[in-house]
Amino acid sequence: MALPRTVLRPLGGYEQYSSSRHSLGLYKNVITVCRYALPTGPDGEEAQVKASIRQALTTIVLEKLPALRVGIAGEDTKQPVFVSLPSLEMHDHLEWVSRTPGQSSDQYDEQLMRDLERENARSWLDVATHSPWRVIVYLNTADGWADVAFAVHHALADGKSGLVFQVQLVETLNSQVVQGPADKEEDSIISFTELPTLVPSQEELIKFTLSWSYTISTVWRELGPAWLKSTPAAEAYSGHRITLEPKLKGNLRVFHLAPDHAAALLAGCRAHGVTLTALMHGLMMVLFARRLPADVASSLKGSGPISMRPYVPKSAEHASFDVNRNMGNFVSSHFHTYDENAIADGRDVAVTQSEEDEKVWRAALQFGTGLKSRLANITEDNILGLMGWISDWHEWWRQHEGKIRESTWYISNTGSVPATGEVVTEGAASPKWKITRNFYTQSSLGKDAIINMNIGGVRGGEMSFIVAWHQGVTENEFAEMFVKDLHACLERFATSGHFAVPNRL
């Protein structure tokens, strides 16, 4: 007998941050897309592939990821809660799309981006009675692969959670014994007889410490009357002011680096002592500096998320779950401002290619040094420790209308996913399913930066880049050329060892 709907716990601060923007129509989901190389032979036939994925998804819902069994009640109120659901209708959560015959890879990618733009804006069924997630499988059995898109409400999961889901999926696909290709209507409802054990909020798991000076200055900045504040310093260039428009259209572009080109890029990062994320911030700074004159952009700011999963302490109280194999929200953020001197260095075109490259690496090192310093005390004076002070998140969002954007660009790197998952069963047969591509997208949010970039990859394989911008906030011509230049710089470095950043001033 299925259990009745039950309140599990209130949403934590970051979860309310995500839930409130969803209820206001500002942000729908985050979508992680992985390409799976299908098994060969009978196991790779369409009916069998569908049966395998459907059975694996059922196993994950029942046994592996309890967040897929919960809804959000009271999302329009000041005190939303996670609730367990008595059952799940699989047809509400699993969809199939066949590839258009005769498409080239570029044509398919372009169509996929249009599909994902729509998916990023797609509404959920009632989130209090239906768990807000779905899997869309873009099936291409003729060429032996399928793109599996996992879309989820951000209050249930962060970007890393998308990889957690995909890892659990490929592991399950490779370990299960498929019962058969049948897809009976009576088997489409999954009923639950036990309450899910939901991962605690990050505020429960991580101790944030706040100094009085930080607390007072932050509260004053957010809540103090404008007429009593001193004139703020010049802000970093961030284009048009914030527009909280629920119907704001998001534009997506994607490009991929082949495995050998991705390896060359990572080798360059190691040689210069920076991470891939730091390199991309440095390259973005130079790209922007060579598009915006000094009288327009006296400073530029890059931002991005920080995964807080490494900072969740081990404890006997929460020993029953592994934070790295569960869905949840464990996210902080980091901002880095490039000052006038740094931008002037990036804007000035050098004589030699080597001198040009050093501009990118210097900017990357600046970001990396700042991030390393922040990570050393990430739980101290962190805005996450003050989220409990916000009594009305809906009003908090509304108050951002017309304000200056937080940064010029935003980069999120969820890292690489192992091709066959993390778990290797002793004596198991060679894996039949493998992940060959990984990237993710997010809903368009009017508060975002001018250009947003998400990076994902497969260990030892491809690296993928999604670039996004808002219709009416960033000019399409500017963004399209920016994407082309970014892609070209990375490809040039992979093949020649030089970025050769063009000057667009």
pLDDT tens figures, 201-257: 999 999 999 999 988 888 767 665 554 545 455 689 998 888 887 666 889 999 999
483: helix, strand or coil: helix
The amino acid present at 40, given as its one-letter code, is: T
Spatial neighbors of 427 by CB under 8 A, at least 6 apart, are none
φ, ψ dihedrals at 245, nearest 5°: -110, 110
SS (H, E, C) 429-441: CCCCCEEEEEEEE
How far apart are the two ends of the chain, measured CA to CA in Å? 68
Hunting for tokens 């069998």 — which residue is that? 48
- Residues paired with 252 in a beta bridge: 468
The CATH fold of domain 7-178 = Chloramphenicol Acetyltransferase (3.30.559)
- DSSP per-residue codes, 409-470: EEEEEEEEE-TT-S---TTPPPPS-EEEEEEEEE---TTS-SEEEEEEEETTS-EEEEEEEE
User: Contact, 359 vs 286, CB < 8 A?
Assistant: yes
* CA separation, residue 120 to residues 96, 129, 461 (Å): 17, 21, 26
What pLDDT does residue 177 have?
85
**CATH class as words, domain 218-416+444-496:** alpha beta
The amino acid present at 491, given as its one-letter code, is: E
C-alpha of 192 from chain center: 30
pTM of the model: 0.95
pLDDT tens figures, 96-134: 998 888 889 999 999 999 999 999 999 999 999 999 999
Domain boundaries, the chain: 7-178, 218-416+444-496
Encoded tokens for 45: 């036939």
Alpha carbons within 13 angstroms on the beta-carbon side of residue 269 total 19
Residue ranges of the chain with pLDDT lower than 70?
Answer: 1-2, 180-187, 220, 222-234, 246-248, 316, 319, 423-429, 445-446
CATH topology agreement for domains 7-178 and 218-416+444-496 = yes
Encoded tokens for 50: 């569908």
